[in-house]
């Protein structure tokens, strides 16, 4: 069996920044494998393209350029907003506006976003709405642990069901 549309894929990977010797971002080694249904849009398209046709036991090593991953950094996605928008009962909660904090935000139309606090001034805050991995080339190494047919209910739900009763 090979990695193809509607297959449940279980794989281990190590993700590093830029190339195989780059800074470690995350790994599944020593943990549960990454499990997903191939071809339903759950993974980066370039990631899927690089593992298509592999079979259990096959190893992989490839780089996904930033433009094909989470995009290049967009300086216009960094906005300065008044600190007052973060006030609750006239006070900004302690620790909320610290550089690096990820804040869930909602715009005037009810759309939800996540932004990273980039800079804090006396009256305003700069929030970066770029994806945290924007501008980063991603290098994946790993191996396919196993492949099976995805069950119709898994395909309908868009994810793998694990264990008794599943999710």
* pLDDT value of position 165: 41
Strands (E), the chain: 7-17, 24-27, 34-37, 59-64, 78-82, 102-106, 112-120, 124-128, 138-149
Confidence of residue 164 (pLDDT cuts 50, 70, 90): very low
Phi, psi (deg, nearest 5) at residue 47: -65, -50
Residue 18's contacts (CB-CB under 8 Å, 6 or more residues apart) are 63, 136, 137, 139
Token pair for 135: 């501008």
* Cα Rg, the chain, nearest whole Å: 20
Per-residue pLDDT tens digits for 38-90: 999 999 999 999 999 999 999 999 999 999 999 999 999 999 999 999 999 98
Could you tell me the domains of the chain?
7-70+134-157 (3.10.50.40), 75-128 (2.40.10.330)
What's the pTM? 0.81
Task: State yes or no: pLDDT of 162 exceeds 80.
Answer: no
- Report the chain's mean pLDDT, rounded to a whole number: 93
Task: State yes or no: pLDDT of 16 exceeds 70.
Answer: yes
């Amino acid at each position: 069996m090979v990695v193809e549309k509607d297959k449940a894929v279980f794989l281990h990977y190590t993700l590093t920044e830029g190339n195989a010797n780059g800074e470690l971002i995350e790994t599944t080694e020593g943990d549960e494998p990454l499990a997903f249904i191939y071809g339903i849009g759950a993974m980066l398209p370039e990631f899927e393209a690089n593992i298509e046709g592999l079979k259990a036991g096959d190893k992989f090593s490839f780089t996904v350029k930033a433009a094909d991953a989470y995009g290049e950094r967009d300086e216009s996605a960094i906005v300065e907003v008044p600190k007052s928008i973060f006030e609750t009962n006239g006070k900004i909660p302690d620790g909320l506006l610290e550089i690096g904090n990820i804040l869930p935000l909602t715009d005037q139309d009810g759309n939800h976003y996540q932004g990273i606090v980039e800079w804090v001034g006396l009256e305003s805050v700069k929030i970066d709405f770029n994806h945290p991995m924007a501008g980063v080339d991603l290098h994946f190494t790993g191996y396919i642990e196993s492949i099976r047919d995805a069950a119709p209910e898994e395909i309908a739900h868009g994810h793998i069901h694990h264990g008794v009763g599943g999710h």
